[in-house]
């Protein structure tokens, strides 16, 4: 008898798989899920871009209004104008008129994963004073029901539903033949179990990879979720390779379970249990481990410290002494100017500086915690195929917690830059309170609106590409391990 060639076996298995109604139903359901997830992701990204565009419009509008006010108030008038109503006053503009935003723009691949973007905003308005106990106080989570249910995005479909589709396609290969007795007839032919298993599961892998990658590309194109790549082609290619490796890993798991020769029902039960462990139980356990390894500092203690700082500044003469000490440090000759320390703008600057110093330790502890969480998450993610792929998708989308932590730090640094820009101008104004225009209702000593520092956003393409490469390497290693175990067990037909 002549040994059947391997390509002939693969072609026969492909025809058999594609003729099955179950295959068409599974692939159709998967395509619908991918299209729905891509559509929701495209809508989320569009809303973020609209919010960023509106922020830019608001910033331009404030500058135009300030310039118009500068021209309008540059004429003598009996109108009485308080400092908080005067955009030509440096302190008034900074505290009451300026609209400055720190922004986290979506990446070209933002539609892949929502991450924590529903509770971690992509835009934050710069604010000063006691409202900034934490860097993340500008949050508006929205509907609690939506937060509880979580986003239905491409990452959810690819990480959780694709393995179920693969199990439905490949879970009973060889096992069903064993149950029906056909395996004896196959074993009587001049072909070994390794060749038969390779053909069967190889055909499933070809169908599944084509369906998953093609369906994802089609869903992204139809939904309009992809824009200009701007150099992200390499990251997208690595993600596609990682996704293909993820599919093959589950096909290899099906082959390994089939080599146990336990029958179709037992094979499906084992695979579903493995799916639950890999995609649900293990990531949850890793999350608990991160909480233990990087304990969260008490926010209540920070809030109490904020309250104590307020009480100390506004009780008795302590606030006056703090203001005088701060002013003397900035302007040594301030002691010769009576009443200078009583100006509201001086009190405000001194209060904010005192407040920042009082809470610096708590802010540093919170930032150290976020860095520790990111570091442990990065290390532990490789222990589960689901977490390592999900992390790669979130970093490519720019919705991962590590990027948001860096965004919060950049936002805090931006507030410091704004204060450093306005502080010398406010002090100069306090030292020379005479209006620039005699008889004009406003000071007219500030018109450097275009010189106000702008936030420089960061789009971490290199980090996303690195994580995609890490995910690809881990998934290939896991696939090779499962394949080697299945290959070893399939050395002979069952007795």
Q: Render pLDDT for 231-271 as a digit per residue (tens, 0 to 9).
A: 899 999 999 999 999 999 999 999 999 888 888 888 899 99
Question: At residue 3, does pLDDT exceed 70?
Answer: no
- Candidate from 9-23, 256-270, 287-301, 326-340 with smallest mean pLDDT: 326-340
Q: Render pLDDT for 331-344 as a digit per residue (tens, 0 to 9).
A: 887 666 777 888 88
Q: Render pLDDT for 394-410 as a digit per residue (tens, 0 to 9).
A: 999 988 888 888 888 89
The candidate with the shortest Cα–Cα distance to 411, out of 128, 95, 130, is: 128
More confident call, 189 vs 282: 282
The candidate with the shortest Cα–Cα distance to 31, out of 167, 154, 206, is: 154
Q: Render pLDDT for 125-137 as a digit per residue (tens, 0 to 9).
A: 887 654 556 665 5
Q: Mean of the per-residue pLDDT values for the chain?
A: 85
Q: How many CB atoms lie within 10 A of CB 326?
A: 21
Give how far the C-alpha of residue 282 lies from the chain's centroid of Cα atoms, to the nearest Å: 21
Average pLDDT over residues 42-62: 90
The pLDDT assigned to 386 comes to 94
| Percent above pLDDT 90 for the chain | 31
| Residues ≥6 apart with Cβ < 8 Å to 124 | 101, 102, 103, 138, 411
Q: Render pLDDT for 54-78 as a digit per residue (tens, 0 to 9).
A: 989 999 999 998 888 888 888 888 8
- Candidate from 6-10, 55-59, 66-70, 162-166 with smallest mean pLDDT: 6-10
Distances (CA, A) of 199 to 20, 41, 227, 301: 17, 37, 39, 62
User: Could you write out the DSSP letters of every residue in 354-381?
Assistant: HHHHHHHHHHHHHHHHHHHHHHHHHHHG
Distances (CA, A) of 348 to 5, 148, 197, 417: 83, 40, 75, 17
CA angle 407, 413, 414 (to 5 degrees): 85
Question: At residue 147, does pLDDT exceed 50?
Answer: no
Question: At residue 450, does pLDDT exceed 60?
Answer: yes
The pLDDT assigned to 129 comes to 55
The pLDDT assigned to 96 comes to 84
The pLDDT assigned to 249 comes to 96
The pLDDT assigned to 143 comes to 45
Cβ atoms of 40 and 149 closer than 8 Å: no
What is the rounded distance in angstroms from the CA atom of residue 158 to the CA atom of residue 191?
Answer: 35
Q: Is 296 exposed, middle or buried (0-12, 13-18, 19+ CB in 10 A)?
A: exposed
Question: At residue 179, does pLDDT exceed 70?
Answer: no
């Amino acid at each position: 008898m002549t040994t059947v060639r391997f390509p002939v076996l693969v072609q026969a298995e492909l025809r058999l798989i594609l003729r099955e109604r179950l295959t068409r139903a599974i692939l159709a359901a998967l395509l619908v899920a991918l299209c729905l997830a891509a559509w929701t992701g495209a809508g989320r990204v569009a809303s973020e871009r609209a919010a960023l565009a509106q922020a830019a419009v608001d910033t331009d509008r404030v500058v135009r209004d300030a310039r118009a006010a500068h021209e309008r108030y540059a004429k003598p008038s009996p109108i009485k104008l308080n400092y908080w109503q005067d955009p030509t006053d440096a302190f008034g503009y900074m505290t009451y008129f300026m609209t400055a935003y720190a922004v986290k723009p979506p990446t070209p691949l933002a539609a892949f994963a929502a991450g924590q973007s529903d509770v971690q905003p992509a835009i934050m308005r710069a604010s000063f004073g006691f409202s900034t106990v934490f860097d993340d106080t500008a949050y508006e989570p929205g509907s609690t029901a939506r937060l509880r249910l979580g986003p239905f995005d491409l990452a959810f479909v690819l990480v959780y539903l694709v393995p179920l589709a693969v199990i439905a396609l490949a879970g009973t290969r060889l096992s069903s033949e064993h149950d029906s007795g056909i395996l004896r007839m196959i074993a009587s032919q001049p072909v070994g179990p390794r060749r038969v298993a390779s053909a069967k599961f190889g055909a499933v892998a070809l169908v599944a990879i084509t369906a998953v990658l093609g369906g994802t590309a089609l869903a992204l194109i139809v939904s309009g979720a992809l824009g200009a790549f701007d150099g992200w082609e390499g990251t997208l290619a690595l993600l596609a390779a990682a996704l293909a490796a993820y599919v093959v890993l589950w096909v290899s798991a099906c082959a390994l379970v089939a080599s146990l020769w336990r029958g179709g029902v037992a094979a499906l039960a084992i695979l579903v249990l493995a799916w639950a462990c890999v995609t649900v139980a293990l990531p949850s356990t890793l999350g608990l481990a991160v909480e233990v390894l990087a304990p969260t500092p008490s926010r209540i203690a920070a809030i109490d410290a904020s309250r104590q700082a307020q009480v100390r500044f506004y009780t008795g003469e302590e606030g006056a002494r703090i203001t005088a000490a701060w002013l003397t440090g900035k302007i040594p000759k301030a002691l010769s100017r009576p009443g200078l320390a009583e100006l509201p703008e001086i009190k405000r600057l001194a209060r904010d500086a005192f407040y920042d110093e009082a809470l610096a330790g708590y802010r540093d502890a919170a930032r150290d915690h976020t860095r520790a969480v990111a570091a442990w998450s990065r290390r532990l993610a490789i222990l589960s195929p689901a977490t390592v792929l999900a992390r790669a998708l979130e970093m490519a989308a720019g919705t991962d917690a590590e990027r948001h932590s860096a965004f919060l730090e950049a936002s805090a640094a931006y507030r410091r830059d704004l204060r450093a820009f306005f502080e010398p101008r406010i002090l100069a104004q306090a030292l020379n309170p005479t209006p620039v225009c005699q008889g004009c209702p406003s000071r007219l000593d500030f018109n450097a609106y275009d010189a106000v520092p702008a936030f420089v956003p960061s789009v971490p393409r290199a980090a996303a590409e690195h994580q995609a490469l890490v995910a690809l390497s881990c998934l290939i290693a896991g696939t090779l391990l499962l394949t080697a175990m299945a290959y070893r067990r399939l050395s002979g037909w069952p007795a």
